[in-house]
């Protein structure tokens, strides 16, 4: 799987949503993406991409699109 497919899979698995819901998804748009869901998703991304987010990046990770920007800071190419 390429990085974007892996990224999508983490979101789909973490929040139990469909791929069509991803593009405009923002923090707290859905009940599953609350603070607990956020940290669970962050942990899944760290495991998937073998990285460790800085606290500022965890806080700033406010949408599906923002997450792509954040992951590029860690050398993940989409």
Sorted by where each begins, the domain ranges of the chain are 3-14+28-73
Residue 14: pLDDT band with limits 50, 70, 90: very high
What are the pLDDT digits (tens) for 15-40?
Answer: 999 999 999 999 999 999 999 999 99
pLDDT of residue 1: 92
Alpha-carbon distance 41 to 62, whole Å? 12
Count of CB atoms situated within 10 Å of the CB of 59 = 10
pLDDT of residue 46: 98
pTM (predicted TM-score): 0.95
């Amino acid at each position: 799987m390429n990085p974007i497919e892996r990224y999508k899979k983490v979101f789909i698995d973490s929040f139990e949503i469909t791929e069509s819901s991803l593009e405009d998804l923002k923090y707290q748009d859905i009940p599953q993406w609350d603070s607990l869901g956020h940290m669970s998703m962050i942990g899944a991304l760290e495991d998937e991409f073998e990285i460790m987010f800085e606290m500022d990046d965890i806080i700033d990770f406010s949408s599906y699109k923002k997450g792509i920007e954040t992951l590029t800071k860690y050398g993940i190419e989409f």
